[in-house]
Structure 1
Amino acid sequence: MLRHTFLHLPGLGPSTERRLWAAGIRDWDAFLDADTPPLASAKAPMWRNELLESKERLAAGDADWFAQRLPPAEAWRLFFDFKDSLACVDIETDGTPQNEVTAVALYDGINAARTYAHGQNLHDFTGDILTSKVLVTYNGRCFDAPVLTSHLGAKLPKAHIDLRNVLCGIGIKGGLKKSEEHFGIDRGDLAGADGYMAVLLWREYSRHGDPAVLETLLAYNAADVLALPVLLAHAINRLLEDTPFADAYGQDIPSPGQNPHIPDPAVLRRVWHERYHHRS
């Protein structure tokens, strides 16, 4: 899809991109091979040079270069050329102003999800993320990425598909769980659990060291990243409807990957009870 993209060119917006597609200029080569500039614009020579560089950057696998030039809501276009080096990431924190990281989940959409827990293997994440070229998160631009960078010193890809931005572009708002509900993603025993539940689980684990509590927290954290490829596929298919390329790039909707952790229903019931007992 990047080869059909012109939005990353300076001063070229969505309406101009649609005009190019409608005129039969549907990829970079068509623009570059045109006998006369496809658009009557003083910027056409600059765009030509930018497209020549685009071809070089794509051949080099430079996802960051494109990500820095695409609007955040259009970062989904990175998926097709970099789907083998995605990193779906989600973090949990302790709920304090310091945002101490308690757990991180990492999923490439293919292999088993990996989880990292405070006091155990948390800093292994900083090495494991280095092989990835594109982050996929929900609201990670505002929260997960800055916290991982400042608290763990993680060197994250600059290329970032934040599904909060992408889904907002198709009118779906309200948070990760609401987005999952919109597309019928079932969390099983973890249905209804939210970020504050993760905070309470960590506090209980810190007090008592119960492995079942940590296992439940990690299961919740993993469920967040396992849903991201599903949401991304739904969003891509919807966004492709507004392009001439839906038939070529439409995605099969994957099932959420297997959760490597099993939540303990007794732990969830106990934490639910304590949460709402203290509110009353």
Structure 2
Amino acid sequence: MLKHTFVHLPGLGPTTERRLWAAGILTWDDFLDAKTPPFGSVKAPMWRQELELSKERLAAGDADWFGERLSPAEAWRLFFEFRDGLACVDIETDGTPQNEVTAVSLYDGHNTVRTYAHGQNLHDFATDILESKVLVTFNGRCFDAPVLRSHLRAVLPKAHIDLRNVLTAIGVKGGLKKCEERYGVDRGGLTGADGYFAVILWREYTRSGDPALLETLLAYNAADVLALPVLLAHAINELLEQTPFAARYALPIPRPGDNPHAPDPRVLRKLAWAFSRK
């Protein structure tokens, strides 16, 4: 999809991009091969230079270069060229103003979920994330990414698909759980659990040391990242309908991957009872 994209060029917005597509300028090469500048724009020579550079950076696999030039709402276009370098990430914190990180999950969108817990392997995340090219989060631009940079000194990809921005562009608003519900994502025994649930799990774990509490926290955190590729596929398909390329790029909707952790039924019952009394 990147080779059909023009909105990363300086001074070229969605309206001009649609005009280019309507005029038969569907790819970077179409633009570069045109005998006369499209629409006679005085910016055409500069856009030609930028497109030549775009081809170089794509050939070099430089997702960050495009990530810095695409708006948050258009970052979904990175998916097709960099799908093998995705890092779906979600964090949990302790609920204090300091936002101490308690758990992190990292999912490649295909097979592997890695989880990290405070006091165990949390700082391994900063090394493991270096293998990835595109960050995928929900509201991560505002929360997860700044916290990971400040607390774990993590060097994150500059190419960042924040699904909150992408879904908002198609009129889908609300938190992660609401978006999951819209698209039929089933969390099983964790249905109805929210961020406060994760805070309580951590507080109870630090008080009691019960490993079942940590296991349930990690299961909850992993469920967040396992949902992200599902939401991303739905969003991309809806956004493709606004382009001439839907038939070529439409995605099958994946099922959520397997959660490497299992919430403890005893813990779920106990917390459900505690919440019901509030």
Q: CA deviation at 1:273?
A: 2.1
Secondary structure at the aligned position of 1:91 is classed as strand
Residue ranges of structure 2 left out of the alignment (5+ in a row): none
Q: CA deviation at 1:258?
A: 0.1
Q: CA deviation at 1:39?
A: 2.0
Match of 1:103 in 2: 103
* Amino acid aligned to 1:239: L
* Amino acid aligned to 1:218: L
1:76-155 mapped onto 2 (5 Å cutoff): 76-155=76-155
Secondary structure at the aligned position of 1:39 is classed as helix
Structure-2 separation of matches of 1:50 and 1:219: 45
Match of 2:57 in 1: 57
Structure-2 separation of matches of 1:67 and 1:109: 19
Structure-2 separation of matches of 1:188 and 1:116: 22
Secondary structure at the aligned position of 1:110 is classed as coil
Secondary structure at the aligned position of 2:122 is classed as coil
Q: CA deviation digits over 1:190-230, x for unaligned, max 9?
A: 00000000000000000001011100000000000000000
Structure-1 separation of matches of 2:189 and 2:141: 29
Structure-1 separation of matches of 2:269 and 2:39: 63
Q: CA deviation at 1:20?
A: 0.2
Note if contact 1:90-1:144 (Cα within 8 Å) is conserved in structure 2: yes
Secondary structure at the aligned position of 2:186 is classed as coil
Q: CA deviation digits over 1:223-261, x for unaligned, max 9?
A: 000000000000000000000001111100000000000
Note if contact 1:229-1:256 (Cα within 8 Å) is conserved in structure 2: yes
In percent, how many aligned pairs have the same letter?
77
1:211 aligns with 2:243: no
Q: CA deviation digits over 1:5-25, x for unaligned, max 9?
A: 000001101010000000000
* Amino acid aligned to 2:52: L
Q: CA deviation at 1:148?
A: 0.3
Structure-2 separation of matches of 1:248 and 1:93: 41
Match of 2:228 in 1: 228
Q: CA deviation digits over 1:61-120, x for unaligned, max 9?
A: 111111111110000000000000000000000000000000000000112211000001
Q: CA deviation at 1:4?
A: 0.2
Match of 2:27 in 1: 27
* Amino acid aligned to 1:189: G
* Amino acid aligned to 1:16: T
* Amino acid aligned to 1:123: H
Give TM-score scaled by structure 2 length: 0.99
Match of 2:39 in 1: 39
* Amino acid aligned to 2:162: D
Q: CA deviation digits over 1:29-57, x for unaligned, max 9?
A: 00000010112211010000000000001
* Amino acid aligned to 2:38: P
Structure-2 separation of matches of 1:233 and 1:111: 16
Match of 2:187 in 1: 187
* Amino acid aligned to 2:243: T
1:198 aligns with 2:203: no
* Amino acid aligned to 1:146: P
Match of 2:245 in 1: 245
Structure-1 separation of matches of 2:24 and 2:196: 51
Note if contact 1:112-1:260 (Cα within 8 Å) is conserved in structure 2: no
Q: CA deviation digits over 1:134-155, x for unaligned, max 9?
A: 0000000000000000000001
Structure 1 segments, 4+ long, off by >6 Å, are none
Structure-1 separation of matches of 2:9 and 2:23: 18
Match of 2:263 in 1: 263
Secondary structure at the aligned position of 1:161 is classed as strand
